[in-house]
Amino acid sequence: MSPVPLVLVAGGLALVAVGLVRARAPWGRYQALRAREANAERYRAWRGGRGEASGDTTGADVMKAVLRSRVREALLVAAVGAVLVIVGLVIR
């Protein structure tokens, strides 16, 4: 077995690990932000207060978009790693 497939598999596994580790923190913050927003909505409904006007962009909406893009980028790195692993296994 030549060293090229081994390098591809090792590099791919490293990229998968790095991508998943990088995606973990923003995903956790995103889920916490969604839970906080859901709790605020339940509280508003319980109090009978007015909801947010449709079309308004809040800071939480912007932060959710940023967190989603960070997760997407990290998962893209993991996907590239998975492709490298598959290529390394196929060309041996």
Query: pLDDT digits over 41-89, tens only?
Result: 888 888 886 666 666 788 888 999 999 999 999 999 999 999 999 999 9
Q: Domains in the chain: how many in total?
A: 1
The pTM score is 0.80
Is residue 77 within a helix (H) or strand (E), and if so which, with residue range?
helix 59-90
Residue 74 belongs to what domain range?
3-90
Name, in order, each residue with C-beta under 8 angstroms of 35's C-beta and a sequence gap of 6 or more.
none
Number of neighbouring beta carbons within 10 Å of residue 85: 20
